[in-house]
């Protein structure tokens, strides 16, 4: 006798449950008020369509850094420096965050925000290709955060291993790509790149990975 599709579904799965809509509103309503600089950056990003992680994901980033007492963070794709400030606050006075972005105007704006947020001393700015700069690094970071163009994600994965300490975190944003990863036959190159990246990250022996389905999906991988 064949079981009906409904019967084969696991009771512990929350089918059709999504953080979109009212549940998402609830999660955002729980967040503490941000300081003036971060709030201004959120407004700027909204008005000018800058794709920042936003406060719900930024809080996870900061929490992850706190959990492993991170002191060094390499960020690929920093834009106006919103996520950079959250990392900088987490690493403390003696910590260091590397900001990278290909757009010099972004870096200029970010520099102003860093000064006003009181974290400029903790941040090293690099304008240019983030992957190239990462490939030149000789040290092992506590955290590498990946938020560059999505087609480059598989290439980023190849660079990360040797530049992350044991127990360090490789964190990547947008891995659910607005749900397009669940399409049956995704045709666009970006979705294909993210699918390749997610598969390889889960399969990688040197990492233990989970995708947190918050906002657009955040992959958190611990280096074993």
Ligand X SMILES: C[S@@+](CC[C@H](N)C(=O)[O-])C[C@H]1O[C@@H](n2cnc3c(N)ncnc32)[C@H](O)[C@@H]1O
**Where along the sequence are the contacts to ligand X (CB under 6 A)?**
51-53, 77-79, 82-83, 100-103, 106, 129-131, 147-149, 152
- CA–CA dist 176, 196 (Å, integer): 12
Closest listed residue to residue 125, CA positions, set 114, 135, 116 = 114
- CA–CA dist 97, 56 (Å, integer): 20
Nearer to ligand X, 9 or 104 (CB): 104
Nearer to ligand X, 28 or 208 (CB): 28
Nearer to ligand X, 92 or 128 (CB): 128
CA 12 → CA 22, 58, 78, 80, 214, distances in Å? 22, 28, 37, 40, 19
Exposure string over 86-116, b if 16+ CB within 10 A, otherwise e: bbbbbbeeebbbbbbbbeeebbebbbebbee
Closest listed residue to residue 131, CA positions, set 166, 107, 158 = 158
Nearer to ligand X, 142 or 173 (CB): 173
CB atoms within 10 A of CB 21: 8
- CA–CA dist 101, 50 (Å, integer): 13
Q: How wide is the angle at C-alpha 213 spanned by C-alphas 88 and 150, nearest 5°? A: 70
Nearer to ligand X, 10 or 137 (CB): 137
For residue 45, the minimal CB distance to ligand X (Å) is 7
Q: Which residue is nearest to ligand X (CB)?
A: 77
Nearer to ligand X, 121 or 155 (CB): 155
For residue 101, the minimal CB distance to ligand X (Å) is 5
Closest listed residue to residue 58, CA positions, set 26, 95, 94, 90 = 90
For residue 174, the minimal CB distance to ligand X (Å) is 7
For residue 110, the minimal CB distance to ligand X (Å) is 9
For residue 131, the minimal CB distance to ligand X (Å) is 5
For residue 166, the minimal CB distance to ligand X (Å) is 25
């Amino acid at each position: 006798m064949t079981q009906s599709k409904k019967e084969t579904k696991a009771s512990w799965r929350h089918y059709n449950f999504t953080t979109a809509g009212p549940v998402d509103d609830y999660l955002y309503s729980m967040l503490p008020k941000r300081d003036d600089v971060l709030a201004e950056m959120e407004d700027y990003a909204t008005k000018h369509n800058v794709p920042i992680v936003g406060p719900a994901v930024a809080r996870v980033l900061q929490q992850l850094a706190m959990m492993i007492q991170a002191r060094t963070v390499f960020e690929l794709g920093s834009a106006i420096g919103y996520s950079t400030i959250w990392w900088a606050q987490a690493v403390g006075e003696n910590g260091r965050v590397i900001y990278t972005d290909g757009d010099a105007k972004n870096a200029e704006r970010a520099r102003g925000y860093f000064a006003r947020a009181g974290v400029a001393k903790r941040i090293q700015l690099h304008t240019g290709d983030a992957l190239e700069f990462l490939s030149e690094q000789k040290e092992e970071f506590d955290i590498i955060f990946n938020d560059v163009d999505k087609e480059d994600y598989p290439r980023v994965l190849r660079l990360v291993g040797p530049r992350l300490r044991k127990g360090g975190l490789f964190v990547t944003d947008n891995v659910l790509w607005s749900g397009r990863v669940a399409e049956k036959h995704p045709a666009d190159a970006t979705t294909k790149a993210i699918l390749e990246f997610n598969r390889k990250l889960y399969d990688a022996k040197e990492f233990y990975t989970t995708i947190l389905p918050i906002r657009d999906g955040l992959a958190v991988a611990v280096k074993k």
